[in-house]
Amino acid sequence: MLPRPRSIPALALLASALISSASAQLTTKCNPMEKTCPPDPGFGTAHTFYFNSTPPEDVFTSEANGIKFNEKDGAVFTISDRGHSATLASNFYFFFGRTEVLMKAARGQGIISSIVWGSDTLDEVDWEFKGGNETWVFSNYFGKGNTNVTGTGGDHPVSGSIYDLHNYTSVWTKDKLEWHLDGQLIRTLHAKDANNTFNFPQTPMTLRLGSWVGGDTETQAPGTVEWAGGPTDYSQGPFHMYVQSAHVEDYSSGKEYTYTDKLGSWQSIKVTEGNSTAAEIVNKPPEKSLSEKWAELPEGTKIGIYAAAGSVGGILFIALAIYYFKQRRQGQKEAALAARMHEEERVELERFKREGRNPDDLKFDGTEYAGAAGKGGMMSSI
């Protein structure tokens, strides 16, 4: 976090508070500091998600605009018009832990790319990227939704550009928060320095990756537009944010996390042990190939399959042999019949020759053979 002069005027402090407030991004469906809420489904493991294809079902939810996944770019978050935003949110929570995200921020004045941790009590940890400021990245945090404070944000130079691929890592324990850029520690927040731990993020978090328009003059407050870097010109779009992968490590090993009171402190979280649904999904072994399945079969089973295959093969061979012999017998009969007809035709031709007649000169004389129908074996056709 960059140092601030002690003699900042009151008006500057107010402006800083408004800007910090503008960058808070969370809402909650059920705040455990206000009422009893269902347990949070835990992660309880460590896994790297590669976004060259759609993530496993029931692990992440795509919110707002659709997100595309491809081999070249990973997850592609696109904003092309007013009202657009794109977010990929985990369906699981981690309770202290670490995330490591490889991403490229979106271009465009007023376009905000972000990596956000968020809890049900509105604890929040952020990486934020302003599309019109390509050489700086911003870190931030909030505790219990309290945005009326100063000094929560930090500004950090980036080597190259935020539009290039960089590694953004956050490490979180009950005692401190760390932000690492491309493997280098750039900021540390100790719990005791966040309003004597009260504003220190300390409750189970989800991971949210996404982009939104902070520079929309029709939908955002003036303070938000100013914080985002100025008004957005949609004619310069579409604006694309890319996430190649996200490693998530839960330092707890629970199946679910339950708030036992309304204080919002880490000490009040009950960890229920067991395998979480998300952990079972991501750790499920890949489908085995046929050769792998065959190799795992017991030797006796293989012998049985060979024997069965041999029996089936034998039956097929016998059936083919019977068919062959039947066809051969039929062929012999047809050949004998053809030979007999040929011989009869030869004998008849020999008879015509002996009688001095040419078979080709015979003409139809108006009578036809009628067998036993007519006397003398002939019947008139008239």
- By annotation, the residues acting in catalysis are 124, 128
Q: Quote the DSSP letter at residue 33.
A: T
Report the alpha-carbon distance of residue 52 to residue 63 in Å, rounded.
18
Helix, strand, coil distribution of the chain in percent, nearest 5: 25, 30, 40
| Residue 103 structure tokens | 């991403």
What DSSP letter does each residue of 131-188 carry, written as one string? Answer: TT-TTEEEEEEEBTTB-S-SS--EEEE-SS-TTS-EEEEEEE-SSEEEEEETTEEEEE
Which among 280, 285, 275 is positioned nearest to 253, based on CA atoms? Answer: 275
Provide the 8-state DSSP code for 300. H
Element (H, E) at 223: helix 222-228
Taking Cα atoms as reference points, which of 51, 248, 104 lies closest to residue 169? 248
Cβ atoms of 248 and 46 closer than 8 Å: yes
Number of residues in the chain: 382
- What 3-state class would DSSP assign to 343? helix
Residue 186: closest CA among 178, 196, 176 = 178
Contact in structure between 7 and 208 (CB atoms under 8 Å):
no
How close are the terminal C-alpha atoms of the chain, in Å? 123
For residue 2, the SS3 value is: coil
Reading the block at residue 261, the tokens are 């009171």
